[in-house]
Structure 1
Amino acid sequence: MSRHTPAPPLDVERYFPEVAPLRRQTVRLHPRAGSPTWRESSVGGPLLWPAEEAWPACPEHHASPMVPVVQIYAADALGLVPFPPGCDLLQVLWCPRDHGGRWVVPAVHWRDAEAVGNVHEAPPAPVPVGSGRVPKPCVVHPELVTEYPSWDLQYGLWDTLEPRFEQVEAETGWDYQYHLSTAPGTKLSGYPGWCQDPDWPDCSGCGKAMDHLLTVESSEADSLSRLTWTPVEDRGADYEGADLRLGDLGGVYLFECRTCPGRPYADRFDCA
């Protein structure tokens, strides 16, 4: 079943025209518990991994195999993420064990799906692992939505808009940060789903700020943001997602440099 985020309850750009130039699109993945196959995009599902290619291990725990987190075929990126030439598959894994303050250690792989012959079965998840760091297999329902900066709104602009934010909330009940700005949940591109102050990494090669590739969050939305961001099909319904518990219901954010060779990447994490 497709998922459709309802239209915003307010015309954001009419109430806050200053954020119009900052609008971005994101692909909400809407992971829902299921039985995806190698040939499908998924969260926590099996990866189309070549049998002749060694399964990746944690660089810190060495013998610990990484676990599948996200697999996205180019068609399900809805034209928003530029895939490297010759590639149509994005695969993200991570080590779910403790890493001295880091929740996970991720790895990003791009590949040509048609070039994969025999498929490598994923090894069992390492033990012990951090609670809630191995996603349950989920099918995804990609949806392109528009969003605006929340934590990424510059301080000066936030100070300018804050009185209007408060006035609009008092008049309508809708809060800019929770109800109108950045889409929550696991998603591609757009704005990271920060719970705290932004921490954008710079590329160590060219020194430029990296692009946001992927947000993996503990839940689709919290008690406040779900009022406007819950898909129409899920209103009033119980559903099971990836069952992640990243810190205090926070998220992991992956960034990449799209100009340097090899598309270097970096990760960040925070919690509510």
Structure 2
Amino acid sequence: MSTRNRISTSSASKIEHPSLALTESYDEEIAPLLTTIDQIRNRIADIDTTIDLPAIVVIGEQSSGKSSVLEALSSIPLPRGGQHMTTKCPLELRMRRSTTWHASLECSGRLIRDNIPNAQDIGQYINNEQNRLTNHRDQISKQVLLLNVQAPWLPNLTLIDLPGIIQVTSKQQDSTSVNMIEELIQEYLDKPSTIILAIIQACNDIETSAAIKYAKMFDPDGERTIGVLTKIDLVDRGAEQKLLEVFDNKRIPLKHGYLMVKCRTQEDIDNNIELSEALRKEEHFFSKSSKFQSVPI
């Protein structure tokens, strides 16, 4: 994977998706493989939990932009927490390209909702189930939500989103949540078959990022970690060069390098800015920025 890339957002109402071109040439090989992995995963879920299957696991601090990155990859609006915890349990997002739309949500083998009518409804179903599992508290559950989505614009991709790493606990949180998140990270990242998607706020000190810390803990040589730099527009003036050195893989080298994104902010969501408009704003930002013009659009 190139180290000079960005992830782009797109509207779920469109048939064409930016990631479509990335998978088009080899999709005939990937799609059957992922389908087989899905079938195996389903069959062994209740039989043998020691078998490791390939997975892309998303980690990052709370409010690091994990949900924005997942939206960028899927064009599916996911829950946003505002001042509250967004991801309260592991979410496995299985995306498959299909000629028609279909979405369903499960929890530990129990079907919660089949035939979800449109992408805009998915976030509410996820929120409802997470609240049920945690008694409407900012707490963590280890039960896994499985979201299956098929659509013409989707890449053939499976991601597992883990709850955000807690740096400072709130009144609604306690050490139990912190410990459970650490246990989940260890459970998923300790597997050699796991690809780590580390979400890192570019506006913070990247070298002390919790996502980088855990990635290095379980993948010290950076062999299976991809860094995603978020909130580029919030980087302090004068800090851009240091960020570009990270992006160019000079400071914290990873075998597969880094991606750079500017996704929807909470303000964008509050103002009902759609994903397609967020894409235009992202392209405008990178094309007009004197520091980041070298980043491919």
Normalised TM-score (structure 2): 0.24
Q: Which has the higher helix share?
A: 2
